[in-house]
């Protein structure tokens, strides 16, 4: 089966610019997650979707971050405006259903550098 696809792989922007990341989960996976992984730290959950609805966005900095999953498949994560501290790898993951203990499958991530 095809894995979780993310693009772009790398992105360099200046602070105060905007940026968007795209994720295509594994086919049939209802649950989608965005994680932020800052260098030297473990991944931190930003937002969890179940189909096209938000389950948990308690750790998403909503003043600058937004995410959507309009048709319950692909998802985009946007940062506007970016800050230096947003430099990180943004990981997308998907699973069949959170209630089934199905494992999370991760994409390769997008490495964002804010200068």
Residues engaged in binding other proteins (CB under 8 A): 3-4, 31, 33, 40-45, 48, 55-56, 91, 93, 95, 97-101, 103-104, 106-109
CB of 48 to other proteins, least distance (A): 5
Alpha-carbon distance of 46 to 36, in angstroms, equals: 7
27 versus 41: smaller Cβ distance to other proteins: 41
Task: Go through the chain and tell me how many residues it has.
Answer: 115
CB of 95 to other proteins, least distance (A): 6
43 versus 86: smaller Cβ distance to other proteins: 43
Buried b (16+ CB within 10 A) or exposed e, 14-53: eeeeebebebbbbeebbbbbbbbeeeeeebebbbbbbeee
42 versus 63: smaller Cβ distance to other proteins: 42
């Amino acid at each position: 089966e095809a894995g979780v696809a993310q693009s772009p792989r790398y992105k360099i922007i200046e602070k105060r610019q905007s940026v968007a990341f795209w994720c295509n989960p594994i086919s049939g996976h209802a649950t989608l997650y965005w994680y932020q992984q800052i260098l030297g730290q473990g991944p931190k959950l930003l937002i969890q979707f179940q189909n096209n609805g938000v389950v948990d966005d308690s750790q998403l900095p909503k003043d600058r971050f937004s995410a959507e999953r309009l048709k319950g498949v692909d998802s985009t994560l946007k940062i506007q405006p970016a800050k230096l501290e947003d430099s990180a790898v943004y990981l997308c993951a998907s699973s069949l259903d959170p209630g089934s203990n199905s494992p999370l499958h991760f994409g390769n991530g997008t490495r964002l550098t804010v200068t």
